[in-house]
Structure 1
Amino acid sequence: MNFCLNCLSLIIFSKYSRVIIKNSPQTLQQFYSTHKTYSFLSTMKVLFLISVALATVVARSEESGELKHLKSLKVSCGGHDAKVCYRCPLDPDTGKWNGESGCNGDCKWNDNRGCEPKIKVVSCGNHAAKVCYKCPVDPDTGKWNGESGCNGDCKWNGYKGCEPKTAAEIEEDISQFLRGNKEEKYY
């Protein structure tokens, strides 16, 4: 497929650039300085280079196996695996529709939408967010709280902002809390 796109780009580029050059009495330098013609040729060159680059990247990725993991990504439905959550209610062995009972593991049942991914959240201290880097923004007001909004499962790291704590840091927080040395910031 990518090879075909490369060939098509090359054919179009070759055909039109020859027609324009052959029918033009101007020198090549004047030809390139003409705005309309130059922009057309530039566009064709860019398209050709992009298609060659994409073909090269895909070919090298396929050779090295970098794309193989994408084909094997699956979600756990509880008792079996599926490529995506909405396929969990269908038993892959029997083809039987299990509905809500087939939707567990990485997925949850929604009465309106069926089986969908569980939304994972982190504790920011006094509110929750999907990921730590969103903790500094107050979800109710949209106000930027910076470091003071980054607690709980997350920590402030100066130039990187709010990021997840390591497992060791979470264990340390828990042990300090149990010893009474740390104020609870998990709500």
Structure 2
Amino acid sequence: MSEAVQRKPRADGQRNRARLIAVALRLFVERGPDVSFIEIAKEAGVGVGTVYRHFPTREDLIEAAYRSELDAVCAVAGELLDEVRPQDALRIWMDRFIDYMTTKIGLTEAIRVVIAAGGNPFAYSRERLGEAVAALLSATAAAGVTRPGLRPDDIVMSLSGIAMAAGGPGQREQAGRMLDLLYEGMRTRP
């Protein structure tokens, strides 16, 4: 054979991978990057060999955990636009972004491990987030809700600032008020 045949991962393998990522993400946020693969495997209900099969290095698992959160927050923008009015989609997504950033901040120590090993977990983050925000802004501008010409990168940076200032679990009420201020500043004026 001249070419290797690429097989689609088995359903149980995909479920195991998803469980491993979810458990690892939670444990990395709670306790840092030094959580053992044995503990991650045990909580995910798989053997430690399964962890190594999916993620040969700790850095691979940390990066997968981070990217899963990025994928989720970007995907939800389109899902919200399909489910609710554009203005509601934008405001709901802004809250979801704060959740994403809170997790990202919780992963700071773990992400440093990836960067120290030469990885770049943020390689496409800003671009992907910008695309998600651009879709939301396009829909809200077309609906006459937000001002045309808003720059997605400005919105992402503003949301990041809110998350840094008030992204902690005990500050959700304040973060919500700050998001409302940002949202009102983006709206069209009669």
**What TM-score bracket applies, with the shorter chain setting the length?**
under 0.3
Which protein has greater RCO, CA pairs closer than 8 Å, 6+ apart?
2
Bigger Rg over Cα: 1
Query: Which structure carries more helix by proportion?
Result: 2
Tell me the TM-score normalised to structure 1 length: 0.23
Tell me the TM-score normalised to structure 2 length: 0.23
